[in-house]
Amino acid sequence: METRGRSLVKAIVWNVIGLISMTLVGFLATGSATAGGVMAAINTAIGFTCYLIYERVWARISWGRVGGRRHA
For position 48, what pLDDT does the model report?
Answer: 84
| Of residues 39, 57, 49, the one with CA closest to residue 14 | 49
Contacts of 38 (CB under 8 A, 6+ apart): 26
For position 63, what pLDDT does the model report?
Answer: 84
Per-residue pLDDT for 24 more than 90? Answer: yes
Averaged confidence pLDDT in the chain: 85
- Domain ranges for the chain: 7-59
pLDDT band at residue 28 using 50, 70 and 90 as cut-offs: very high
Per-residue pLDDT for 68 more than 70? Answer: no
Give the C-alpha separation, 22 to 39, whole Å: 7
pLDDT band at residue 27 using 50, 70 and 90 as cut-offs: very high
Give the C-alpha separation, 28 to 45, whole Å: 21
